[in-house]
A and B are shown apart, each in its own frame.
Chain A
Amino acid sequence: MIRTENLCKKYGDFTAVNNINLQVEPGEIYGFLGPNGAGKTSTIMMMLGISKPTSGDIYLFGEKVTPNRLDLRHRIGVVPEKHPVGMWSWMTGVEYLSLFAEIYAVDKAEIRIDHLLNRVNLLSVKNKRIKEYSRGMMQKLSIARALLHDPDILFLDEPISGLDPIGIKQIRDLVLEENRDGRTIFISSHLLSEMEKLCQRVGILFGGSLVAEDKMDVLLANLVQDREVIIDLEVIPENIENTIGMLPYIEKVNIKGNTLFITALKNEDIRKELSKFLIGQDLIPLRIEERQVTLEDAFISITRDNLDMFTSMGGKK
């Protein structure tokens, strides 16, 4: 659906995008992750044909993207992070959508607009001026606009940034619903926790390079080197940290009150072994829990120093 080949973008001496090769399959939700300034927007702008790559190629639907290929843009919908609301504020929601319906030459535009407004829960406010819309409403209107012409790919740039929890859930549900209908979705974001809930596959961009790209669970498993197990005990015996620390796969033990925080080097689940060991020591664990390492935890460990490690893990430096 989307494919880039050795994509590069330079602004003078600065390399914004460095040799990116990625592929998004039809029907998947692809998360494009990276901190601010990682080169996400530059990559998306090239994918949309708005800016020209310094080198490399982009293919949408198997066809090469150039700024002149306005026809390809007809098959994509884009939800930008920020909307120029001020410029459209005089229009009502329905006028706003009808403008885009006309631009995209949407058939039976009125029915389609009402259908989409209904889907994003804005039908009741369709005749309100959009200057009266909240940020969440505007974001939903923007998604409705992006879906007007029934695009094959939906690009979402930071779709939940600045939204309240209810707004986030509504957008998340909408995206998942669209994906269930078979639409390919490309989401760019720096909010990793949300991406984790949405994306099937992610690419991590850092310093203009795609440092990792894989399925979410594989990526997490690869990224997570340490495991942390939290154990609550009735009584904390003396020297327990040394006793546990003797185990070969234990790296560190911390005690806070009656709770042990154990960091293990082992990749597998160590809760069973630890439980056996503690019972053997006449200690009864009240709670034994492994803390889930999130994408966010993993992501913050990405630095320039360990780029090589990520590359060796399947990243595309």
Chain B
Amino acid sequence: MNQRIHVAKALSKRGLLESFLNPGYYLFLSVSLVLGYFLVSGFKKSIDSGGFDYSLDPLYDLIGRSLEGFFGSTYVDQLFSEGPFLFIIVIIVFPLFLYLTITSVFKFGMEKKAGVIVLLSYGPVDGTTYFIASLVKDLIMVFVSIAIIMIFLLITAVLNNLVVGSTAFLSLILIFFLTPVVFAYGILASSLTDNSASALVMFLMLMVFFLFIIMGSFTIVDNNIQNIAGEFSRILNWISPFFFFRVGMRGVAAGNIIPYLLSLLFLSVLGFVILLASHLILRIRGVRP
């Protein structure tokens, strides 16, 4: 076990170095933060003597109307009740983490296909140690990204006399617990497939499907979409990371910490189960390309 930990540490360190040498991370991070800057500016422009009114800024007017059309006015009210940051977190975290998950899945698939895992397996590394290292690396990347985003939000908040509310803060913690599950699904997809393209397609299809279920059952725009998504969600909620994210956020909105803590617990359990499944699949299928 100690040997596995040692090897996972070495591999994740090298993975981190590789990630931090990759220009893509800096570009996506910067784009996300610049997007955050413009969203804060737009929010400021939407404030008048009576408070926040999204119709005052063209960008927010578009966002507000779209969100209201899809999810209802109550959703929009709650989204902006503490300020812009809950919305901004969702918007800026999404492209960055999409980049991180896609590169992770792609890399895993590529390395499996190219025979990197087999090469490592000639030594004291097995498939499980490898994906644990990959996961640890991804989690550190997520943690660093969240920390940078948090610092950016706090600086922006101080400069503009805004406040990063408790909901936004708690959502970031929830996102930190959500991402390992998303990465675990990436590992599962890589374990089940033979190359990075198939792994990526499987992973993206899974995520789009989970998002459809969660957003579809949440939308008010079309009853049919809501009903179909509702039916799926009854069956598949328990394996959808976004479902637990929503449960946690509902807990926060309701001022009830128990669903929030439970969602953190369930996300951890779900992540563990998916990793266990990946471990078993890798043992059965092997790591040879």
By a CB distance below 8 angstroms, the chain B residues around A90 are 18, 21
Q: Which chain A residues border B124 with CB–CB below 8 Å? A: 70-71, 73-74, 103-104
Instruction: Report yes or no: B120 in contact with A73, Cβ–Cβ below 8 A.
Output: no
The distance in angstroms between the C-alpha atoms of A51 and B118, with both chains bound, is 11
Q: In the bound complex, how far is the Cα of B6 from the Cα of A78, in angstroms?
A: 20
Determine if A218 is an interface residue (Cβ-Cβ < 8 Å): no
Residues of B with C-beta under 8 A to A99: 10-11, 14
Closest to B111 in A: A87
Distance in angstroms from A130 CB to nearest chain B CB is 13
**B119 in the interface (beta carbon within 8 A):** yes
B3 within 8 A of A: yes
Contact between B119 and A84 (Cβ–Cβ < 8 Å)? yes
- Identify the closest chain A residue to B286 (Cβ): A51
Nearest CB of chain B from residue A54's CB, rounded to whole Å:
14
Which residue of the partner chain, among B13, B116, B286, contacts A50 with CB atoms under 8 Å? B286
Interface membership of B246, Cβ < 8 A: no
B288 contacts across to A, CB distance below 8 A: 45, 50-51
Which chain B residue lies CB-closest to A85?
A: B114
Report whether A84 and B111 are in contact in the complex, using a CB–CB cutoff of 8 Å. yes
Cβ–Cβ < 8 Å partners of A51 in chain B: 286, 288
Among B110, B111, B120, B124, the most chain A Cβ lie within 10 Å of the Cβ of B124
Whether the Cβ atoms of A80 and B123 lie closer than 8 Å is no
Q: A50 to B3, alpha carbons, bound, how many Å?
A: 17
Q: Which residue of B lies closest to A146 (CB)?
A: B122
Tell me whether A102 and B10 are in contact in the complex, defined as CB-CB below 8 angstroms, given that A48-B122, A80-B122 are known contacts: yes
The residues of B that contact A80 with a CB separation of less than 8 Å are 115, 118-119, 122
Across the interface, do A82 and B115 meet the contact criterion of CB distance under 8 Å? yes
CB contact between B10 and one of A83, A103, A149 (< 8 Å): that residue: A103
Residues of chain A lying within 8 A (CB to CB) of residue B14: 99, 102
Size band of the B side of the interface? 20 to 34
Contact of B7 with A by CB under 8 A: yes
Contact between chains at A104 and B123 (CB < 8 Å): yes
Find the B residue at minimum CB distance from A104.
B123
Distance between A45 CB and nearest chain B CB, rounded to angstroms: 7
Q: Which residues of B contact A48 (CB under 8 A)?
A: 121-122
- Most B Cβ at <10 Å: residue of A50, A51, A103, A104: A103
A82 and B10 alpha carbons, distance in the complex (Å)? 23
Task: Let me know if B121 and A50 touch, CB within 8 A.
Answer: yes
Query: What CA separation (Å) do A265 and B213 show in the bound complex?
Result: 81
Instruction: Kindly state the separation between the CA atoms of A7 and B234 in the bound complex, as whole angstroms.
Output: 50
Complex: chain B residue closest to A49, CB-CB: B121
Instruction: List, in ascending order, chain A residues with CB within 8 A of B67's CB.
Output: none
A73: chain B residues at CB < 8 Å are 121-124
| B287 on interface, CB distance cutoff 8 Å | yes
Annotate A86-126 by CB proximity to B: 1 below 8 A, 0 otherwise: 11101000000001101111000000000000000000000
Instruction: Please give, as numbers and ranges, the residues of chain A lying within 8 Å of B6 by CB-CB distance.
Output: 105
A71 to B7, CA, bound (A): 12
A87: chain B residues at CB < 8 Å are: 110-111, 114, 116
Which residues in chain A, 63-83, are within 8 Å of chain B measured between CB atoms?
67, 70-71, 73-74, 76-78, 80, 82-83
- Which A residues are CB-close (under 8 A) to B118? 50, 80
Task: Tell yes or no: B125 within 8 A of A by CB.
Answer: yes
Task: Mark out the residues of chain B between 112 and 135 whose CB falls within 8 Å of any chain A CB in the assembled complex.
Answer: 114-116, 118-126
A84 contact set on B, CB distance < 8 A = 111, 114-116, 119
Point out the residues of chain B lying under 8 angstroms from A88, CB to CB: 116
B250 sits at the interface (CB 8 A): no
User: A51-B286, A51-B288, A70-B3 in contact; A103/B122 too (CB < 8 A)?
Assistant: no
**Which residues of chain A have C-beta atoms less than 8 A from B120's C-beta?**
103
Q: Which residues of B contact A102 (CB under 8 A)?
A: 10, 13-14
Chain B: minimal CB distance from A135 (Å): 16
Residue of B nearest to A157 (CB): B122
CB contacts under 8 Å to A, within B1-50, are: 3-4, 6-7, 10-11, 13-14, 18, 21
User: How many Å lie between the Cα of A103 and that of B287 in the bound state?
Assistant: 18
Which one, B10, B11, B119, B122, contacts A76 given CB within 8 A? B122
What CA separation (Å) do A315 and B40 show in the bound complex? 79
Q: Which residues of B contact A74 (CB under 8 A)?
A: 123-124
Excluding A48-B121, A51-B288, A103-B10, 15 further A-B contacts by CB distance (< 8 Å) are A45-B288, A48-B122, A50-B118, A50-B287, A67-B126, A70-B125, A70-B126, A73-B121, A77-B122, A80-B115, A84-B111, A84-B116, A87-B116, A102-B10, A155-B122
Chosen A-B contacts, 9 in total, with CB atoms closer than 8 Å, are: A70-B125, A73-B121, A78-B122, A80-B119, A84-B114, A84-B115, A87-B111, A100-B123, A103-B10
Closest 5 CB pairs of A and B: A84-B114, A78-B122, A102-B10, A70-B124, A84-B116
